[in-house]
Chain A
Amino acid sequence: MKTYVIRRILQMILLFIGISAIVFLILNVIGDPFAQLAANSQIKPEDIIRLRHQWGFDLPVYLRFFKWFWATIRGNWGISIFGGGRPTTELIGNAIGWTLKFSILAFLLSAGIGIPIGIYSALHQYTIFDNIFTFFSFFGMSMPTFWFGFMLMIIFGLKLHLLPLGGVMTPGMETTPFFLRILDQIKYFVLPVVVLSFYSMGSWTRYARTSMLEVLHQDYLRTARAKGLPERVVIIKHALRNALIPIVTLLGISLPDLISGAMITETVFAIPGMGRLTLDAMMNNDYMLAMACLLLDSLFLIIGNFIADLMYAVIDPRIKYG
């Protein structure tokens, strides 16, 4: 087991370096981020040359990569050219806070409601409950998120005036006491969290239902019933535990989504989160910010996969890794 973990960690590091190289290459193909500075007449050419040298743009691509990688390892993630020269770590730090708040809430909602519903559907397959829940789980998955969010915003924001039209805080409330601020923020959270969770709630429901159904027809359950165990014990102690194994691995794979945020939802509801930051950085060719965001996404993707594999190996005693 320990050798497996060490081997995986080494593979992860290699994968990480490989991914950063590929992403770096891609972003450098797109174009010179300092070009837009040249168009600004208020910036002196010497400053541009200095900036270029500082961030390694007078070097060929492969040397630039090493320079960037060395700086990144040591914690220097560059500045945001488009965002007024602020360090990317500051921008990312601000954005991640918002993204985490929304995505953790959405995750708890979607998994917390979806999985039990899926399991219930499996236990009562083909009943009216199953059909209703099936319909609702597909409901969320059958719409583009930008349309769904937009519709909700129109209905609840414009027509009914119940909820705000996006953003995260009423302007001017940054300095009010903590408790009042939270109360105010709740109404900003409702719609984005609903939109975020609706889509994945459907997947969790389907996945839990399928997994549970697969387990329910196994022979060992028949054995357990033949032994005389009460049905409740059969379901909870045997069926559920085995059905949850693949679900738990899915939980690990959902980890990177918590960090990278939902680009579309954040844009629709004007949430200053990681998703929107990444999107804006890419669109504006804000090179270093884009690299930093994408790197963070890749990092958590790799870690998430690793945790999923690890949990799978730990929970299922039948799996042996060399």
Chain B
Amino acid sequence: MSGINTSQKVESYWHLVSKRLVRDKIALFSMLLIFIVTIVCIIGPYFSPYKSNQMGSPANVLQPPSAKHWLGMDELGRDTLTRLLYGGRISLLIGFLSVFSAIIIGVIIGAYAGYYGGFIDIVLMRFTDIMYSIPVLPLLVVLSAIFPGAGVLKIALVIATFGWMTSARMIRGLFLSLREELYTEAARAIGASSARIIWKHLLPNSLAPIIVFATLRIGGNIIYEATLSYLGFGIMPPTPSWGNMLQNAQYAILIAPWLVWAPGIAIFVTVLAFNFLGDGLRDAMDPRLYR
């Protein structure tokens, strides 16, 4: 068995992917941007002389950007840049966590539905359809009423609850086709258990579309968090998040535009980067797009 160098094939696929990704300058730039933004949001607050909730004196309210406060101050005298960095931590964390949870749920449901087919498939897919058809808003109101408070974990789980259906459908479709591949039949022939086939063979081969899906969804979920803040269901002040900073600053657009532009540009640039990266990944990873 050692004569067959199966690792060669896997390595060369990802090698090809990264080679193609590097050709896409925009996607490369986006990846760098996301990396920088994440690092800055994690480390930045330690370098700031201000705390996110440190309120200034009433005379210092709504100050425009200056040397001491690079992005000015908000209506309570807090430093906008520091809040932006803390908010970035929260928004990015919600983005990553919600997509991660949605994928885990989606994989579990989609993999078993796609691999086993038949009755299990029908039951799981009907369940997915029902969840898909339940309107989001009343569920949101109820969830907020049942679990008061608005922690990052709760918001991420709520967003995942509304988003796992798409990943489940996609993974089910993937598994339906991967199930017919020759290596699946070979694995079954040598007696591999279904669980082993699913987790050790089929799942690694469906990683590419999952990664693309995840990248594109992170951007979408960051915006979703902002929308939830608009409706009043997002992260509650005084904890900053890009979403609630944007929402709370809108009234002051004419007198303190930096308060709106800071989180707005932050969201826009970050989500744009995720979208470009996801699109670049999709172009790089799709085997049918070989040129």
Contacts and interface: CB of A to CB of B under 8 A. Distances in A.
Interface string B124-137: 00000110111101
Contacts of A141: 219-220, 271, 275
Contacts of B289: 213-214, 217
B226 A147 contact: yes
A26 B139 CA distance: 7
A13 interface: no
B276 interface: yes
B246 interface: yes
Contact of B267 (A144, A217, A298): A144
Interface string B15-35: 000000000001000000000
B134 A23 contact: yes
Given A15-B130, A146-B227, A213-B289, A139 B137 contact: no
Contacts, number: 103
B134 A282 contact: no
Chain A, interface size: which category? 35 or more
B194 interface: no
B145 interface: yes
A180 to B, nearest CB: 33
A141 B267 CA distance: 11
Contacts of B253: 150, 154
Given A26-B142, A217-B289, A302 B133 contact: yes
Given A18-B130, A26-B142, A213-B289, A144 B227 contact: yes
The B interface, classified by DSSP as helix, strand, loop or mixed, is helix
B70 interface: no
A223 interface: no
Interface of A: 15, 18-19, 22-23, 26-27, 29-30, 131, 134, 138-139, 141-147, 150-151, 154, 158, 206, 210, 213-214, 217, 263-264, 278-279, 282, 290, 294, 297-298, 301-302, 305
Interface of B: 26, 129-130, 132-135, 137-139, 141-142, 145, 219-220, 223, 226-227, 230-231, 243, 246-247, 250, 253-254, 260, 264, 267-268, 271-272, 275-276, 279, 282, 286, 288-290
16 contacts: A22-B134, A23-B135, A134-B276, A142-B268, A142-B272, A142-B275, A144-B226, A146-B230, A147-B250, A150-B250, A154-B253, A206-B279, A214-B288, A294-B135, A298-B135, A305-B129
